[in-house]
């Protein structure tokens, strides 16, 4: 901790700083340009995670982020919902298709998966 991640989504580049924690984590997102992204990409530790993210509306306030991993991590799929408060998260009842709840497992953090 902390975890620093770079991401390319279409033509948008982002550097993300994530603090310690499992369900609740401090997170900051900063914009990058393509040149800065390419420079930092050369310095990654572990494998480059490749995935497609699908945004699935759940309620007026909640969206499911479904990540379908490619490359070395295929066929892994993870679904995540972000909440405004810890209380909302604690009272959430996930759809049946979510499968195992891995909220409290760091095994599925990108920082761990990149060491696969």
Per residue in 33-74, pLDDT tens? 999 999 999 998 889 999 999 999 999 999 999 999 999 999
DSSP 65-110: EEEEE-GGGTT-EEEEE--SSHHHHHT----GGG-S--TT-GGGSH
CA distances from 34 to 18, 50, 96 (A): 21, 17, 39
In the chain, the domains with their CATH numbers are 1-44 (no CATH), 45-116 (2.40.320.10)
Q: Which residues lie below 8 Å from residue 78, measured CB to CB, with a gap of 6+?
A: 66, 67, 69, 102, 108
What pTM was estimated for this model as a whole?
0.81
The span from the CA of 11 to the CA of 97, in Å, is 31
pLDDT band at 93 (very low <50, low <70, confident <90, very high): very high
């Amino acid at each position: 901790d902390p975890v620093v991640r770079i991401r390319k989504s279409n033509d948008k580049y982002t550097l993300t700083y994530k603090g310690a924690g499992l369900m609740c984590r401090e997170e900051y997102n900063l914009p990058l340009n393509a040149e800065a992204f390419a420079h930092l990409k050369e310095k990654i530790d572990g494998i480059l995670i490749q995935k497609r993210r699908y945004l699935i509306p759940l309620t007026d306030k909640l969206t499911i982020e479904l990540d379908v991993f490619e490359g070395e991590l295929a066929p892994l799929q993870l679904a995540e919902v972000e909440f405004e408060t810890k209380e909302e998260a604690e009272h959430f009842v996930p759809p049946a298709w979510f499968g195992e709840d891995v909220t409290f497992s760091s095994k599925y953090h990108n920082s761990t998966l990149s060491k696969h």
